[in-house]
Amino acid sequence: MNKLTRRPCVAGNWKMQGSYSMIETLLGELHQQEQYLQGIDVILCPPFVYLERVAKMLQRQESTFLLGAQNTYCEEKGAYTGEVSAAMLKDVGCQYVIIGHSERRQLFAESDELIARKFRAAYHAGLTPILCLGETQAERVSGQTFAVIRRQLDSVLEVAELNCFNRAMIAYEPVWAIGTGLTATPEQANEVHTTLRGWIAESDPKIASGVRILYGGSVKASNAKELFCEPNVDGGLIGGASLEGQAFLSICHSATYDT
């Protein structure tokens, strides 16, 4: 299975941004050009409180866009004030969930172990986890990139079955490139993606060749195409640029095979 057999995917991570009026405008803009985005999965990941609104609007537009959340908790239900379970996300219409974003790891002190448990819970609830991995600037400079990413991947594989990657996706997001305007070069991104795929192939070549690996970190309309052309880059996880209709559409279009 090569790149052409993996369906490209672009996910927009809105982070803690959005409002009812912004949703109206952005989804209106996206919908006008949705018809030109063939053969690709486009996922919108708004904050929890807007999931249902976005789900309803996508339904009304008869949109093919998919819905994702930015986080979930690892338990099914119970006394976990402020948390949201994967089953609840499913209930409001989510199909995807971002797990282990570096902002969760850094600002909210999420450990590899917690992330692994969230990943497993999301998968078992029927969601598609998008597992984020990536090194900091200091880790890259000191030559630890591959050790860090391997640790992040292995901690998930200790808790969840490799088989989960028949459905789950990976997003390689170098921390130094997130929201900084710095982007990994296409070669840097592809090097990590190829290594990740190689590690999975050591256990199961079939799963490895099918798993979609997205790149994230300052992807813009101007650099998306060169990144997405790389043989092991199957699309992107987009932060800032996913809030601007035209920029996001252009990025999505760069991931289709007819560019």
Q: Which residue is nearest to ligand PGA (CB)?
A: 239
Q: Which of 179, 198, 205, 231 binds ligand PGA (CB under 6 A)?
A: 179
219 binds ligand PGA (CB under 6 A): yes
101 is catalytic: yes
Give the helix/strand (H/E) hosting 128.
Answer: strand 128-133
**Min. distance of Cβ 16 from ligand PGA in angstroms?**
12
Q: Which of 217, 228, 233, 248 binds ligand PGA (CB under 6 A)?
A: 217
Stretch that binds ligand PGA, among 22-30, 75-83, 215-223, 224-232 (CB under 6 A): 215-223
Instruction: Tell me the Cα Rg of the chain.
Output: 17
**d(C-alpha 188, C-alpha 149), whole Å:** 14
The catalytically annotated residue of 34, 139, 173, 230 is: 173
DSSP 47-114: -GGGHHHHHHHHHHTT---EEEES---SSSSSS-TT---HHHHHHTT--EEEES-HHHHHHS---HHH
216 binds ligand PGA (CB under 6 A): yes
Q: Which of 13, 128, 145, 223 binds ligand PGA (CB under 6 A)?
A: 13
Helix/strand/coil for 186: helix
Question: ∠ at Cα 171 (145, 51), nearest 5°?
Answer: 145
Q: Which of 72, 128, 218, 254 binds ligand PGA (CB under 6 A)?
A: 218
178 binds ligand PGA (CB under 6 A): yes
**Min. distance of Cβ 2 from ligand PGA in angstroms?**
26
46 binds ligand PGA (CB under 6 A): no
The answer to whether the CB of 43 falls within 8 A of the CB of 10 is: yes
Burial degree of 215 (CB within 10 A; 0-12, 13-18, 19+): buried
The answer to whether the CB of 67 falls within 8 A of the CB of 54 is: yes
Which CB, 13 or 208, lies closer to ligand PGA? 13
The catalytically annotated residue of 101, 103, 139, 253 is: 101
Both tokens assigned to 72: 């979930």
Instruction: Note the residues at the interface with ligand PGA (CB under 6 A).
Output: 13, 173, 178-179, 216-219, 237-241
The set of catalytic residues is 101, 173
